[in-house]
Structure 1
Amino acid sequence: MAIIGSYLKKHTEALVKDVGIEPACAVTGKSKATLGRYYSDNDEHADRFMPIDAVAQLEEVASYPHVTAALAELRGVGLSFENRPNNARRSGGVNSDVIALSQRFAMLMAEYQQSIEDGRISVNEAKRLLKETTLLQQVLVDMKLNLEDEAS
């Protein structure tokens, strides 16, 4: 349970920081100290987690559903998250998806090469790699949707 708790706390922190601490306080009606306790790794706060209604409120204004995605990953469930209107999807078909996939993968590899240069990946470098991975995932989702369109 300690590993799961730590994992959820890291994603809770990412959610709060995504929204911003002041706006998160306004959205949830919680104080900075209370929000901080929800993602604190101190032993005294080990059993304290953000209530699900507060998670839902924050994820509604966040750029990504951090805690929901973490819960899904813990169960081995994949989520498809699109923070854009359905009609914003590229319509160039599978061929353009393959090109976009190649380009995005090259960007990920370039970011990885730069990050690993000193022999370790820092927190900021990991965040940049995570962002590139998420963008690569989005290209794959677009490709999947285009393939489904062509198959039907």
Structure 2
Amino acid sequence: MIRKAVKSDEAAIRACAEKAYGRYVAAIGRKPAPMVADFASQIAASQVYLATDDGDNVQGFIVFFPREDHMFLENIAVQPAATGRGIGKSLIAFCEDEARRLSLGTVHLYTNEKMTDNLSMYPYLGYREVERRTEDGFKRVFFEKHLGCSDGPPR
């Protein structure tokens, strides 16, 4: 199930981010940006959604919000024990559906160049690499996906 995060979810979201991104700290040389995000502010702004199991345990989360003419997918993480179950794919599809619902034509995102799994996963999901640059001291790879917009989900 995917649901909007609430204030009481912050600790579980932070724990998920720590577990999901912790393996990259050594390669990057410091904690990646998603590990130090201001989740409290993002939750308050209704930008965080959770994938939960039947017991409402956090399996993953996504942070996204509209920016001008596109949806910006800022962060996505899945509990390491839950990888390979389609949770990340479902969260990204949810973000894309919300972009379509808002008549936004594209989803933009970036990842760190050291997160090599992402560099192959995003193209597999239809995202196209558009740029590489250093930003905030991180070497980032930027992607976008053009969407077919509609007036909401099929009826």
TM-score higher than 0.5: no
TM-score (norm 1): 0.27
Q: Which has the larger radius of gyration?
A: 1
Structure with the largest fraction of helix:
1
Structure with the largest fraction of strand:
2
